[in-house]
Structure 1
Amino acid sequence: MLNRLLFQRIDNSSLIAFRIFFGILVSLECFGAIATGWVNRNLIAPKYKFPFIDFDFLQPLPGYGMYFYFGIMGLMGLFIAVGFKYRASIITFTVMWTATYLMQKTAYNNHYYLLILISFIMCFFPAERSRSLDVKQNPKLESNSMFAYVKWIVVFQLLIVYVYASVAKMYGDWLDFSTIEVLMRSKKSYWLVGDLLQEKWIHKIIGSVGILFDLLIVPALLWKPTRKIAFFLSLFFHLFNSIIFQIGIFPYLSIAFSVFFFEPETIRRIFFKSKIPFTNSPIILPKHRNLILLGLTTYFIIQLVLPIRHYAFKDDVLWNEEGHRMSWRMMLRSRQGKGKFKVVDKNTEEVFIINPKDYVSRGQERKIFAYPDFAWQFAQYLKKEFAEENREVSVYLTNSKISINRKPYEPFIDSKTDLAAEKWYQTKHHDWILPSNHNKPKK
């Protein structure tokens, strides 16, 4: 049964269509990042970029180099769409996009991480075997079929994303719709719908649909009787998200994934009318079957474990953020923080009160006070800055408090901890993050 599920050959029209959509969308994402100023705000203007911890060696190109960098990625997207030097193009894009993702996290987005995963997966897919310039240059490459595991890899990856996103929403502030209320406050100025989005009954609809849609959309698309309805609901849901939340290409990428759920004949009839249809053939196991199974098993075990790793840390991930990233916890909360950075010269005991605005952008400043890893990295940054003046310093974040979902501020980081002297642990709780009040035992 496993051999039939994974290694039966099926029509590849869905993969070819997705390659074209994917290439166009990532190209728009890259050129759009230049046009909207995203590249300048996050990779050029800031003095310090707040890369992922342990990836400080990845630094943006100097001057206007990142404009050329994103231009090359945009060009790779076009090459992917037309199937020109496909393998080299998709690998180049994957490496460059992954490096960009790791260079800065101020503008962190789960969708950027999903783009890494899909790009990585596409590196192994035979997506250039039809309707491509590669086939025109070498007709021997052409094929109208693919192994069924190509489809099921995409489907299972999407199932993981959506189900984990649904489960993550099943917590108090989402279930009482207060999170939705907070999210909608910033949309009040929207033309025509701004006031409507402030209504309680709208919050209930958005909150309930958010959970149910994420939980059921993949099964509904897989089941033929509900497929068309699910597709149109998906279309409405993602277009709503695109208009209201303005989250880049993700809604359209999600719509593009739909090609893997419809019958190949339907996709071929809509997009490739002249494409030769594929007729079923006997199952012929690939030469490296066991290696493929090992790779798939390893990949999906990682994908299943990463989103739940936060349970290995003390306290609530909504509070301490440990294990939050790469776990499909999307639009779950808002965080505001405040405090003061105090730098103490260890030799002279001279005290400096640091205003982060003198060092970082406004967006980075908000992150520094609200997220523990940002606070730690800023302390390390200050340590290096003062070291250039031959000063050995301690760095403290005093009066540190945060508010989650606009609730009352609570003490967050221990003001007695020298953050400059602390180490960062990827798999261990940091005791200088104070426990949240709702997890403290009642007296």
Structure 2
Amino acid sequence: MMKKLFQPIDNAPLIIFRIFFGFLLAAETFGAILTGWVNENFIKPQFTFNHIGMDWLQPLPGIGMYLYFITMGILGVLVMIGYKYRYSLSAYTVLWTLTYWMQKTSYNNHYYMLILVCLIMIFLPANRYASVDVRQNPDIKRLSMPKWCSLVMILQVAIVYFFATVSKFYPDWLDGTFTKNLLVNKSPIPWIQEIFSQKWFYLFIAYSGIAFDLLIIPMLLWKRTRTIAFVASLIFHLFNAVTLQIGIFPFFALSFAVFFYPPEKMRKIFFRKKPILDLEKEPVYENKSVLLYFFLPYFIIQILLPIRHWFIKGDVLWTEEGHRLSWRMMLRSRTGYTVLKVIDKKTNARLNFDSIIRLTQKQYNSISDKPDAIWQLAQRIKKEYAKKGIDVSIYADTFVSINGKPTKQLIDPSVDLASAEWDYFFHNEWILLYDNQGNKIESK
């Protein structure tokens, strides 16, 4: 087994992926500036809803975040051309991870995926060919890599698709409710929208989504179905890119295909002048310690994180506890509203939090249905009033609808969120639970 993992293969797939990946990193960050995403999420807000525990992490003032993203874009280009590869990619990884932790108002699974792939790529010899590093130091040039370099990339994307499949097995996906809602008004062309609204079509989208996520990796691994799988992947991701407008993710997902084809084929397509690998002349790159001490625990964590919500009381679809980092992608829609009551404990008077806390529209959307954002806002309001010497209690009237279903109360209105603690690992009892018939489950 170990011998197969360290079998030398042509490194063409890894080299071309580095080039694709670096380009996508640059496109993501420069695109964030050009589309107004940086302005909307970091410049306009008075503060950001960071990941809980990262309260110290807030955007740079003035034009600081523009310079921050320009720096990341430049680092992406350096990764693409392979200049100071590990330093450039490590710096990008740190900056992007801080960006990810800094805000979750515009949470997207592919932001998390970028972090993971950056971490993996730091440990892979992706600058050993077709790079500025090789031009400056020819001694590091290699034509091969151990087979495990391709396998870790395949395993990572397999984990994503597997848990994306598992998460779709719930009633609103299986009966087409979610996909029907998703496709409403998605096309300005009447006859296309008419097709989108047909039951057979949104059921087809729902079940083809399950079939695609379930079968795409096995089909890419099997030589006889590989090209069919790639064409299906191309259609699937381009359809998502057009209808869902989810940034670089469809192209990012497609780029992993290079690891499923024979390395020699990738060499012939992308590097025609690259010499054919001669195993007798090529030194072996093993680095067993990386495989044992980084990748083994890394993949154990990657398997544990998506299943943690099964050990938390309540339905993750409702509570959101354990939703992130679990590959629950494009799975449900949440709508709702929240009315906060801020009470001066001394006078029992109701206070207006809008006078000290200003939210953007996207932030209002977050506190309308997401319990962690509501709790965080309560903590921030508490701190702001504490600066004025006022001790407050904060209560939330929150009603939420999942996939267009009737609204239900999300948060216990009798709980003072200013005093409530956030439980990172288990259920927060102030989030109300319901049984299958919609009846409230009383907390024990």
Q: TM-score, normalised by structure 1?
A: 0.95
How many angstroms apart in 2 are the aligned matches of 1:25 and 1:390? 49
Tell me the equivalent position of 2:80: 81
How many angstroms apart in 2 are the aligned matches of 1:354 and 1:369? 15
Tell me the equivalent position of 1:247: 246
1:264 positional shift: 1.0
1:288 positional shift: 5.0
Say yes or no: does 1:380 pair with 2:379. yes
1:342 positional shift: 0.4
Tell me the equivalent position of 1:173: 172
Amino acid across the alignment from 2:417: L
Contact 1:18–1:259 (8 Å) recurs in 2: yes
Q: Which moved more, 1:271-280 or 1:283-292?
A: 283-292
Contact 1:188–1:198 (8 Å) recurs in 2: no
Amino acid across the alignment from 1:413: I
Tell me the equivalent position of 1:430: 428
Tell me the equivalent position of 2:408: 410
Q: 1:167 to 1:204 in 2, by over 3 A?
A: same
Q: 1:440 to 1:334 in 2, by over 3 A?
A: closer
How many angstroms apart in 2 are the aligned matches of 1:137 and 1:416? 66
Tell me the equivalent position of 1:421: 419
TM alignment of 1:51-70, pairs within 5 A: 51-70=50-69
TM alignment of 1:335-414, pairs within 5 A: 335-354=334-353, 359-398=358-397, 400-414=398-412
How many angstroms apart in 1 are the aligned matches of 2:286 and 2:217? 31
User: Could you give the per-residue CA deviations for residues 369-414 of structure 1, whole angstroms, max 9, x where no partner exists?
Assistant: 201101100101111121222111011102x211000000011100
Amino acid across the alignment from 2:342: V
How many angstroms apart in 2 are the aligned matches of 1:178 and 1:111? 24
User: Could you give the per-residue CA deviations for residues 317-351 of structure 1, whole angstroms, max 9, x where no partner exists?
Assistant: 00100000000000111011113100011111111
How many angstroms apart in 2 are the aligned matches of 1:312 and 1:22? 35
Tell me the equivalent position of 2:25: 26
Q: Which moved more, 1:212-221 or 1:193-202?
A: 193-202
1:439 positional shift: 6.6
Say yes or no: does 1:264 pair with 2:263. yes
Contact 1:317–1:324 (8 Å) recurs in 2: yes
Q: Secondary structure at the match of 1:396?
A: strand
1:110 positional shift: 0.7
Amino acid across the alignment from 1:119: C
Tell me the equivalent position of 1:289: 288
Contact 2:338–2:367 (8 Å) recurs in 1: no
Q: 1:292 to 1:365 in 2, by over 3 A?
A: same
Tell me the equivalent position of 2:128: 129
How many angstroms apart in 2 are the aligned matches of 1:283 and 1:314? 54
1:214 positional shift: 0.5
User: Could you give the per-residue CA deviations for residues 184-239 of structure 1, whole angstroms, max 9, x where no partner exists?
Assistant: 12414367633332222210111011001011101101110000111111111111
1:426 positional shift: 0.8
Contact 2:6–2:286 (8 Å) recurs in 1: no
1:31 positional shift: 0.5
Q: Secondary structure at the match of 1:360?
A: coil
* Structure 2 residues not aligned, in runs of 5+: none
Tell me the equivalent position of 1:204: 203
Q: Which moved more, 1:274-283 or 1:139-148?
A: 274-283
User: Could you give the per-residue CA deviations for residues 295-329 of structure 1, whole angstroms, max 9, x where no partner exists?
Assistant: 22211110000001001211100010000000000
Q: Secondary structure at the match of 1:395?
A: strand
Q: Secondary structure at the match of 1:259?
A: helix
Contact 2:393–2:419 (8 Å) recurs in 1: yes
1:294 positional shift: 3.4
Q: Which moved more, 1:282-291 or 1:325-334?
A: 282-291
Q: Secondary structure at the match of 1:408?
A: coil
Say yes or no: does 1:119 pair with 2:93. no
Q: TM-score, normalised by structure 2?
A: 0.95
1:9 positional shift: 1.0
TM alignment of 1:303-318, pairs within 5 A: 303-318=302-317
Q: 1:46 to 1:203 in 2, by over 3 A?
A: same
* Structure 1 residues not aligned, in runs of 5+: none
How many angstroms apart in 2 are the aligned matches of 1:287 and 1:366? 50
Q: Secondary structure at the match of 2:436?
A: helix
How many angstroms apart in 2 are the aligned matches of 1:218 and 1:76? 31
Q: 1:223 to 1:319 in 2, by over 3 A?
A: same
User: Could you give the per-residue CA deviations for residues 121-153 of structure 1, whole angstroms, max 9, x where no partner exists?
Assistant: 011111000000111111111000001111000
How many angstroms apart in 1 are the aligned matches of 2:324 and 2:211? 22
TM alignment of 1:147-166, pairs within 5 A: 147-166=146-165
Contact 2:338–2:369 (8 Å) recurs in 1: no
Q: 1:85 to 1:374 in 2, by over 3 A?
A: same
Tell me the equivalent position of 1:227: 226
Amino acid across the alignment from 2:361: R
1:355 positional shift: 5.4
Q: Which moved more, 1:84-93 or 1:380-389?
A: 380-389
Q: 1:357 to 1:275 in 2, by over 3 A?
A: farther
Amino acid across the alignment from 1:431: E
Q: Secondary structure at the match of 2:67?
A: helix
How many angstroms apart in 1 are the aligned matches of 2:186 and 2:354? 30
How many angstroms apart in 1 are the aligned matches of 2:136 and 2:261? 30
Contact 1:9–1:281 (8 Å) recurs in 2: no
Note the aligned Cα RMSD (angstroms): 2.0
Q: 1:99 to 1:254 in 2, by over 3 A?
A: same
**Corresponding pairs, count:** 441
Q: Secondary structure at the match of 2:193?
A: coil
Identity %: 47
Contact 1:4–1:283 (8 Å) recurs in 2: no
Tell me the equivalent position of 2:214: 215
